[in-house]
Amino acid sequence: MLSHMSMAYYNTREIQGKQAHDPIFIEKMKSKSSSSSSCSSSSSSSSPSPPSSPSSSSSSSSSSSSSSSSPSSPSPRLVVCVPGPVIVGAGPSGLATAACLQLKGVPSVILERSNCIASLWQLKTYDRLRLHLPKQFCELPFMPFPNDFPTYPTKQQFIQYLEDYATKFDIRPRFNEGVASAEFDSKLGFWRVRTTGAKGGDETEYVCRWLIAATGENAEAVVPKLEGMAEFGGPIRHTSLYKSGEEFRGKKVLVVGCGNSGMEVCLDLCNHNARPSLVVRDTVHVLPREMLGKSTFGLSMLLLKWLPIRLVDRLLLVVSRLLLGNTSRLGLDRPKLGPLELKNLSGKTPVLDVGTLAKIKSGDIEVRPAIKRLKCHAIEFINGRTENFEAIVLATGYRSNVPIWLKEGDMFSKEDGLPRKPFPNGWKGECGLYAVGFTKRGILGATMDAKRIAEDIERCWKAEAKHCTPFKGSLFPLSSSSSP
């Protein structure tokens, strides 16, 4: 696609790409730039820009991009051309992809809306959280967990591992850059990615050949609309804002949602002498976290190598029954499909029990049906019973935010913000668009995506470099993913 572009353009692209990694350059540009859109190279580099290049398009952006001409999206203050891919999101998926690309000699830029890497883990998870799966299933590519980490690392250990990973691969995301929109400009043949700074100002446009969505399946909290919500007298808190049961000590708390988070929050509340009840609206598979001396997840992976999924499911359910008893008696009915088949078909993750079931058996946690409505200090359930509660914790999950910022209709579903193509084919779209970490298979799935994406982009990157042999030397000094 780029083969027709002029030599000068390649020089410009490289300079701009280098500058895109340089915060000082960006700051300089911001202070220099006027309210009208200006391309970085036109002010800082003497390289001429051909009419078809992003730099010329930025100064006449209204003619080359529908987004730029829209009154709702005024021209950005700064335009930065990135030679490699732009990755949106600095969670485990974005970091893994940047590292894989870096090892292949492809520089990338990560744009992250918050002020740190792995913001889900650092800012939106509860204190007692540990990895749900054993550490060997949560490794990012090319860096195992330290040997002295436990099988299920704590949240702090996992964050430390990710920080070390970013350091090892010299990954330096551009923080406080929330992507507000990303659109493929077919006239230009590039993606135009617009970000806004922390306070909603400082708009920047990144122009790139490849765009990698790594904003995660858990980008936005799902808060259900419950009748009478405004009337309820106590706090209503989503798990993304729940840190520990300490603030609920002695209180009667209703936890809505019986996934891994809801179950664990109930346990945490018990441990802080609160009195939790758990709303269970749906069927759920609860499995012991370990069985037959192995992690349930690891054992399942092993068995699936030899046995059909339904047989593995049956084995898991028999052992679960022996270890946990009949969960239906506790108000936790099992779905008709087995846990692995259900996960494969719907993405619904089985709950790995870390002690909550024992608390339900002992009566420390009570199970309640769906909510009908909230009242001032009470909750009415669909079975007609009304009970007093002092607080509500919503363990109602998260959703992808891709449809909000990605102006594209083919690759991602508008309904759930996930790739339309089922696993393992959802990672690649059209026009240099990729998705990492949307497989409903946790970090293991993200790692698979990251490796595939890096291989795919590397092929294209090398092919383009071959085509432009005279500039090989000047195109490739960018070895690190975001080094200045």
Ligand X SMILES: Cc1cc2nc3c(=O)[nH]c(=O)nc-3n(C[C@H](O)[C@H](O)[C@H](O)COP(=O)(O)OP(=O)(O)OC[C@H]3O[C@@H](n4cnc5c(N)ncnc54)[C@H](O)[C@@H]3O)c2cc1C
Task: Please state, in angstroms and rounded to a whole number, the distance separating the CA atoms of residues 395 and 397.
Answer: 6
Closer to ligand X by Cβ: residue 11 or 260:
260
Provide the sign of the torsion angle of the four alpha carbons 15, 17, 23, 25, taken in this order.
Answer: positive
Task: Please state, in angstroms and rounded to a whole number, the distance separating the CA atoms of residues 152 and 5.
Answer: 51
The phi, psi pair for 178, rounded to 5°, reads: -80, 130
Q: What is the DSSP letter of 74?
A: P
Closer to ligand X by Cβ: residue 111 or 475:
111
Near ligand X in 291-350, by CB under 6 A: none
Task: Please state, in angstroms and rounded to a whole number, the distance separating the CA atoms of residues 467 and 138.
Answer: 39
Q: What is the side-by-side strand order in the sheet with 204-208?
A: 78-81, 204-208, 190-196, 178-185, 406-407
Q: Which stretch binds ligand X (CB under 6 A): 17-25, 46-54, 214-222, 325-333?
A: 214-222
* Among positions 89, 234, 338, 350, the unique one binding ligand X when judged by CB under 6 A: 89
Q: Which of 86, 72, 42 is nearest to 60 (CA)?
A: 42
User: What is the x/- site pattern for ligand X, positions 420-459, by CB under 6 A?
Assistant: -----------------x----xx--x-------------
Q: Which of 475, 473, 443, 453 is nearest to 139 (CA)?
A: 443
Q: Exposure string (b/e) for 122-138, b if CB count within 10 Å is 16 or more?
A: bebbbebbbbbbbbebb
In whole angstroms, how close is the CB of 154 to ligand X at the nearest point? 11
Cβ 445 vs Cβ 423: under 8 Å: yes
Q: Is 73 in the site for ligand X (CB under 6 A)?
A: no
Task: Please state, in angstroms and rounded to a whole number, the distance separating the CA atoms of residues 466 and 471.
Answer: 9
What is the number of the residue whose Cβ is closest to ligand X? 91
Q: Is 216 in the site for ligand X (CB under 6 A)?
A: yes
* Among positions 55, 67, 97, 215, the unique one binding ligand X when judged by CB under 6 A: 215
Cβ 268 vs Cβ 355: under 8 Å: no
Q: Is 219 in the site for ligand X (CB under 6 A)?
A: yes
Task: Please state, in angstroms and rounded to a whole number, the distance separating the CA atoms of residues 99 and 446.
Answer: 13
In whole angstroms, how close is the CB of 281 to ligand X at the nearest point? 19
For strands 371-374 and 378-381, give the pairing: antiparallel
Binding-site size, ligand X (CB under 6 A): 34
* Among positions 54, 91, 257, 339, the unique one binding ligand X when judged by CB under 6 A: 91
**One-letter identity of residue 350:** P
Q: Is 11 in the site for ligand X (CB under 6 A)?
A: no
Closer to ligand X by Cβ: residue 132 or 359:
132
* Enclosing H/E stretch for 237: strand 236-238
What are the residues whose beta carbons fall under 8 Å from the beta carbon of 270, sequence distance 6 or more? 245, 276, 359, 364, 365
* Among positions 20, 88, 106, 454, the unique one binding ligand X when judged by CB under 6 A: 88
Near ligand X in 108-167, by CB under 6 A: 111-114, 118-120, 125, 129, 131-133, 138
In whole angstroms, how close is the CB of 393 to ligand X at the nearest point? 13
Closer to ligand X by Cβ: residue 85 or 437:
437
What is the number of residues in the chain? 484
Q: Is 218 in the site for ligand X (CB under 6 A)?
A: yes
Closer to ligand X by Cβ: residue 89 or 107:
89
User: What is the x/- site pattern for ligand X, positions 159-178, by CB under 6 A?
Assistant: -------------------x
Q: Which of 31, 13, 17 is nearest to 78 (CA)?
A: 31
Closer to ligand X by Cβ: residue 344 or 474:
344
Near ligand X in 35-54, by CB under 6 A: none
In whole angstroms, how close is the CB of 401 to ligand X at the nearest point? 5
In whole angstroms, how close is the CB of 46 to ligand X at the nearest point? 33
Near ligand X in 253-272, by CB under 6 A: 261
Near ligand X in 367-426, by CB under 6 A: 401, 405
Residues lying near ligand X in the complex (CB under 6 A) are found at 88-94, 111-114, 118-120, 125, 129, 131-133, 138, 178-179, 214-216, 218-219, 261, 401, 405, 437, 442-443, 446
